[in-house]
Amino acid sequence: MLGNQIEEGLKIGNIIKSNSDSFVFIESDNERYFAHISNFADIKSVYELKKVANGRLASFEEGQNVKGLFAKNIKLL
């Protein structure tokens, strides 16, 4: 079951592709989180990020800065 794969304190959401090669958004709990390529645990290039399907599930930690909510420590599920 998916719940067993999610660590305490992590959120899950769906990847929403953007027009940029270096970031996407993640929608979770009626919130939209900015997700930069540098915050993905397993993705190291824009080519790899381009191959991620729109709507794919991901786990992440919530972060916040002056620009708003963002996702960090992102792992594709």
**pLDDT score at 9:** 75
pLDDT by residue (tens digit) across 7-63? 567 999 999 999 999 999 999 989 999 999 999 999 999 999 999 999 999 999 999
CA distances (Å), 9 to each of 18, 30, 60, 65, in order?
Answer: 26, 17, 9, 19
What is the spatial distance between Cα 16 and Cα 18, in angstroms, rounded to a whole number?
A: 7
The CATH classification number of 2-76 equals 2.40.50.140
pTM of the model: 0.86
**pLDDT score at 1:** 40
Buried b (16+ CB within 10 A) or exposed e, 24-57: bbbebeeeebbbebebbeebeeeeebeeeeeeeb
Domain residues of the chain, as ranges?
A: 2-76
**pLDDT score at 63:** 94
